[in-house]
Structure 1
Amino acid sequence: MKALRFQQPGDPLAVLTLEEVALAEPGPGEVRLRMVARPINPSDLLQVQGVYGRKPPLSATAGLEGLGVIEAIGEGVSGWALGQCVVPMGAQGTWAEALITPASNLFPVPDGLADEQAAQAVVNPLTAWLMADQLGLGEGHWLIQSAAASAVGRCLIQLAKLRGFKVLCLVRHEAAVQDLMEAGADAALCTGDPEWMKQATALLPEGAHAAVDAVGGALGGDMVKLLRPGGTMLVYGALSMEPLQLPGGQLIFRTATVRGFWLTDWKKRAAPQERDRAMTELLAAMGAGKITIPVEASYPLEAWREAIAHAQRSGRRGKVLIR
């Protein structure tokens, strides 16, 4: 089978190679999936670069998420059938034609959920779902989010409609403001506007209940300043690659809380029933069309260079998939 692999960390376009590798058989408790679709997420590229928190032994096959069809079942596995469409949680190596994974990590795809949506169900929608849970967001609450045009950002906009909270979206490009308003955001501001902090303060005179930041740097610190007393900010990314500039006075005198969120850590710590509940509820919402992620383009595995180059462009309006 073909697999997109790397022998050392570095620029994905430089270190990844499409290789022919032996097709393995599943061991006890495992299944083999024929991979159907995989998104290109920032976490995938960061892992190849060697700067992600989860580092596989090298050499390794890239890819942390995708949709597969069960094509072989190992000894002791029950409750699953050949030909069943599933989403693997905690996968490593989805950028290949096939994947061996523990059956305990699988979740069935609801009827009617499109392949391109199911392939993206874990990394971004689940991150948004869990952060909203951990922040206790509900009716009338305000959430501020950076990188709001991202997949996580768009999922949070849709979750706000389901749960009754409101979202102030922060983006780098003015063109994204109208796009997010049309997508259902309650408010959107461009951080390139020197007046954006004044506008945000006027919009939220009492401060926001919570914030989620995927950028870091000075922007993350500004978001903390917009929290109400006792507010919380979750940090789930560092796209700027700059240290988070936290205002000490805000943390002390307004008792703000800033803590990290990493989906991989949640997977390790969550009880099986908690993990199953979250994924089951999320997949049901996606199957009902209440949460969707736009897709801008799809490429075959053989065109991986074009796919990655496309995924790295700024200003995209949807995910890039490898099919």
Structure 2
Amino acid sequence: MHAITLEGFGGPEKMRWTQLPDLEPGPGQVRIRTVAVGVNRADLLQRQGYYPPPTGASEILGLECSGVIDAIGEGVSGWQIGDEVVALLEGGGYAEQVVVAAGQVIKPPEGIDLVSAAGVIEVAATVLSNLDLVHLQKDEWFLVHGGAGGIGTFAIQYARALGAHVATTASAAKLDHCRQLGAEIVIDYADDWLTQLMMATEDRGVDVILDIIGAKYLADNVAALRDDGRLVIIGMQKGTKGELNIQKLLNKRGTIAATSLRQRPTEQKAEICRQVEERVWPLIASGQIKLAPETRVSLQEAAEAHQLLASGDVIGKVILTV
């Protein structure tokens, strides 16, 4: 098979199209002939040396893919060779073949082609698991940073499907996109987003925040929480070390959580995938959640895809086609 490998850590120029031995599924695994691969910010961090895969996982980039099962390991039931699937991966997606635990494989959403389906399972699993963690409720106010990206595009719609009110930050050129998804408050992050949010909510703030930014926004995120508010951090695009005013958090009875889907045990990821298939796929099939706009790039041109995502110019999802 061929795959994108890294010739050391650094920029996109470190990525190489390489021939490697074919993979064989072990017990409890299936092998997928890859059709498409979703590109995520985590891939850019791993390429730069900041986000290593879990112990024992493939060092090849790629956390989600779609394709066709072409080999089945011992002890796997419920799947047949030729089945079309999507998979949540610990790594290995930027390749013509992947092997993955059978529990992290599900059917694609009804009515969605395999290429588009490659870009939805990781965002769906991330958003669902984290909003379950912080118990987002109907009529609560929810803030997601980066509303025009893959996570944000999905999170706005999923929160609305739960009956929550949504605020989001994005670049000025992408605010209309966020409004069309259902966000009621849209804020240009280049301005003072905290002041704008507090004005729009009459100084009440929000109940739940989903944050992909990290350290840079920590203090402002705490300031934006209502009493009993919950902040869940899932990214570190703008730093890993921030300063926390514990007194402010105590006064609000606030909660801060930080999670990594990639580092969860296989059993947890399998259950999350099952929940995605059961609770999210029907929302996509009915049109209540629409997939993010796509930019498709050939797998061999993965370096170009990374440049596009890093530029911030694209709306929605970047997908590699095999």
TM-score by length of 2: 0.89
Structure 2 partner of 1:198: 195
Structure 2 partner of 1:86: 85
Over 3 Å counting, the alpha-carbon distance change for 1:206 and 1:305 in structure 2 is closer
Structure 2 partner of 1:2: 2
Structure 1 partner of 2:139: 140
Structure 1 partner of 2:212: 214
Write the distance in 1 (CA, Å) between the matches of 2:266 and 2:3. Answer: 27
Write the distance in 2 (CA, Å) between the matches of 1:76 and 1:192. Answer: 53
- Tell me which of the two structures has the higher relative contact order, counting C-alpha pairs closer than 8 angstroms and 6 or more residues apart: 2
Structure 2 partner of 1:15: 14
Q: Does residue 1:261 correspond to 2:267, yes or no? A: no
What is the SS of the residue equivalent to 2:64?
Answer: coil
Gaps in structure 1 of 5+ consecutive residues: none
Amino acid at match of 1:311: L
> Residues 5 and 19 of structure 1 are in contact (CA less than 8 Å); yes or no, is this contact kept in structure 2?
yes
Shift, 1:207, TM fit = 2.8
Write the distance in 1 (CA, Å) between the matches of 2:160 and 2:57. Answer: 43
Shift, 1:92, TM fit = 2.0
Over 3 Å counting, the alpha-carbon distance change for 1:227 and 1:269 in structure 2 is farther
What is the SS of the residue equivalent to 1:39?
Answer: strand
Structure 2 partner of 1:178: 176
Shift, 1:234, TM fit = 0.5
Residue correspondence of structure 1 range 43-122 to structure 2 within 5 A: 43-52=42-51, 54-55=53-54, 60-122=59-121
After superposition, the C-alpha distances for 1:80-122 in whole angstroms (9 at most, x for unaligned) are: 1121111222342111111122323321224312223321233
Shift, 1:162, TM fit = 0.9
Q: Does residue 1:162 correspond to 2:161, yes or no? A: yes
Range with greater deviation from structure 2 (58-67 or 128-137): 58-67
Over 3 Å counting, the alpha-carbon distance change for 1:26 and 1:256 in structure 2 is closer
Over 3 Å counting, the alpha-carbon distance change for 1:43 and 1:87 in structure 2 is same
Structure 1 partner of 2:229: 231
Shift, 1:264, TM fit = 2.4
Runs of 4+ in 1 over 6 A off after TM superposition: none
After superposition, the C-alpha distances for 1:5-52 in whole angstroms (9 at most, x for unaligned) are: 1254x1252332111112233333332211000011111121222211
> Residues 47 and 55 of structure 1 are in contact (CA less than 8 Å); yes or no, is this contact kept in structure 2?
no
Write the distance in 1 (CA, Å) between the matches of 2:172 and 2:269. Answer: 42
Shift, 1:284, TM fit = 3.0
After superposition, the C-alpha distances for 1:112-135 in whole angstroms (9 at most, x for unaligned) are: 122233212332122111222222
- Residue-pair matches, total: 320
Q: Percent identity?
A: 27
Gaps in structure 2 of 5+ consecutive residues: none
> Residues 72 and 81 of structure 2 are in contact (CA less than 8 Å); yes or no, is this contact kept in structure 1?
yes
What is the SS of the residue equivalent to 1:270?
Answer: helix
> Residues 228 and 253 of structure 2 are in contact (CA less than 8 Å); yes or no, is this contact kept in structure 1?
yes
Write the distance in 2 (CA, Å) between the matches of 1:58 and 1:16. Answer: 19
Amino acid at match of 2:129: L
TM-score by length of 1: 0.89
Amino acid at match of 1:261: T
Write the distance in 1 (CA, Å) between the matches of 2:7 and 2:269. Answer: 34
> Residues 90 and 267 of structure 1 are in contact (CA less than 8 Å); yes or no, is this contact kept in structure 2?
no
Shift, 1:250, TM fit = 1.1
